[in-house]
Amino acid sequence: MERQLYVVGDVHGHLAELTRALNAAGLVDDSGDWSGGDAELWFLGDFVDRGPDGIGVIDLVMRLSAQAGESGGRVDSLVGNHEVLLLGMHRFGDEDVPGAPTPRSFAKSWNLNGGLRSDQDRLTPEHVEWLTSRDVVHLVDGHLLMHSDTLAYLEWGGTVDEVNEAVRAILTGDDLAQWWECWRKMTTRYAFRGPEGGVVAGELLKLMGGAEIVHGHSVFADQLGVMPEEVDGPLRYADDRVLAVDAGLYSGGPCLVVELR
């Protein structure tokens, strides 16, 4: 029997909702421990900000990763733009970005984008090491997993490995300007919307591999013309080449645990 493959989009600190959704999918038991056997579960990033317990979410995912590995499964995560923001705030604080046309800093952006002091206070070296060693794009079973629905990843390389290596070098380095560019690029969005979206997605897949793109980052309720609380599943669009899974948990939408076929 083929193993099951799942993805979860932007959690933004909503630990209780995530735990309930994973339990409903049969991936964790009533105690919040891994019960998914050899299933594979990928988080698409944005664990923190805008919700009450981002570090609690990271702790859960790190614990499930260890438990799943012991039972032949896998739990892993991509880096989202809010992880870059969290880590940039931790590393650089209110230091001005060099060369910026107006005063900019991670502290200012962190405050504007729902940063929580409790997350910063509880961030440990273990969290930092784990987050900075995650991929930003990943190809699994024909699904190209990305956090952001953007082509900006291509500015770091033309293959999955090149992109991951380039971003990992930035996030393990001390160049504030490069960190800031990483944050800026990963906040861009909507590359696959509009009449040419399917063509754009197809070109990216031809370059990086896979049959479909799976992303979080952009709440898709607006594409459907509904409120987030009316969403009941992921959105397939761009000539069926893209699957959006961020249902807007922080703004009242559901926490989707999406099985990929």
Q: What is the pLDDT of residue 1?
A: 63
Is a pLDDT exceeding 90 seen at residue 14?
yes
- Range from 2-6, 148-152, 253-257 carrying the lowest mean pLDDT: 2-6
Give the HSE-up count for residue 250: Cα atoms under 13 Å, Cβ half-sphere. 22
Rounded Cα distance between 184 and 261, Å, is 32
Query: What is the tens place of the pLDDT at every residue in 207-239?
Result: 999 999 999 999 999 999 999 999 999 999 999
Report, as an integer, the average pLDDT of 145-153. 98
11 Cβ neighbours under 8 A, 6+ residues apart: 17, 18, 43, 46, 47, 51, 57, 249, 255
Is residue 180 a contact partner of residue 89, using CB atoms and an 8 Å limit? no
Is a pLDDT exceeding 70 seen at residue 79?
yes
Query: What is the tens place of the pLDDT at every residue in 235-249?
Result: 999 999 999 999 999
Q: Which of 57, 55, 50, 138 is CA-nearest to residue 90?
A: 55
C-alpha 158 chain-centroid distance? 20
Q: What is the pLDDT of residue 184?
A: 97
Q: What is the pLDDT of residue 261?
A: 87
Q: What is the mean pLDDT of the chain?
A: 97
Query: What is the tens place of the pLDDT at every residue in 16-32?
Result: 999 999 999 999 999 99
pLDDT band at residue 2 using 50, 70 and 90 as cut-offs: confident
